[in-house]
Amino acid sequence: MSMNEKYGPWAVIAGGSEGVGAAFAHQLAEAGINLVLIARKPEPLAETAAAARARGVEVLTAQVDLLDPVALPAIREVTDGREVGLLIFNAGANSYGHEFVTGDLSRVRGVIDLNITAQLALAHHFGALMAARGRGGILLVGSLAGYLGQAEISVYSAVKAFSRVFAEGLWLEMRDRGVDVLELVLGVTRTPAMERAGLAFDLPGLNVAEPEDVAREGLAHLADGPVWVAGGNLAAAEKRSGFPRAELALAAHEATRKLLPTR
């Protein structure tokens, strides 16, 4: 069965305007799958949509903030009546990094709502339709951060851990319904968002993945769920899953500090 037969004729990409999301859009368009791209920023959203249309597929866009309570109804205005065979949730960036007890709790809730509440809403809606049809795929973009707690991104690490465990359970529920579920775990990836954050990609020995490569890896292994660690980071994920936790957390913290710009 071809990718279009299994996951077409439409794919929804949340966070589909740049970086890994745009790479997914380009590659799915090459496979002949029509797209609904969801993002907040109009300019990169329009650019990615135009690039995908140039590959010969139909592309619709929804300029939506997934934290808005009306996000799902707005998305449904575009997708209802269209057969969506693939959902890619790539919108879970770390939108707030701060020590937890001195941080802004409303912004902490935003991290939770984007990475958990919005993801669950889309997976629930589109997953139910796929299960009823007996085919489809759900790809949740995760992070190596979800394997170990880290200072100043403790909540982000926690929501990424939630996403991975949720994907494992959803995979068990959907595997006999003909729907593939995959948590695609990314390490350091050269995306516009990470570049804007000032990450130091040039550290000696740092394993940096490119968006096109991890998107290709995710689509190639969509049927190999529930979890696929991309970009050569499997050994790092296995190490972070081990014990003793205190020593691992300290080591991860020091490595992360080197990546971030000096405050």
Residue 123 domain flag: yes
Domain count, the chain: 1
The C-alpha torsion from 6 through 11 and 16 to 21, rounded to 10°, is 0
Residue 253 domain flag: yes
Residue 71 domain flag: yes
| Interacting residues of 61 by C-beta distance below 8 A, sequence separation 6+ | 36, 37, 38, 39, 45, 46, 49, 78
Question: Three-state SS for 184?
Answer: strand
Residue 188: closest CA among 152, 133, 145: 145
Residue 1 domain flag: no
Per-residue pLDDT of the chain (263 residues; tens, 9 = 90+): 889 999 999 999 999 999 999 999 999 999 999 999 999 999 999 999 999 999 999 999 999 999 999 999 999 999 999 999 999 999 977 878 899 999 999 999 999 999 999 999 999 999 999 999 999 999 999 999 999 999 999 999 999 999 999 999 999 999 999 999 999 999 989 877 766 666 677 778 788 889 999 999 999 999 999 999 999 999 999 999 998 888 888 887 787 777 767 55
Residue 143 domain flag: yes
Q: Could you give the CA distance from residue 241 to residue 253 in angstroms, rounded to a whole number?
A: 15
- We report the CATH number of the domain holding residue 86 as 3.40.50.720
What is the extent of the structural domain holding 28?
6-259
Residue 100: closest CA among 156, 169, 57: 156
Residue 68 domain flag: yes
Residue 202 domain flag: yes
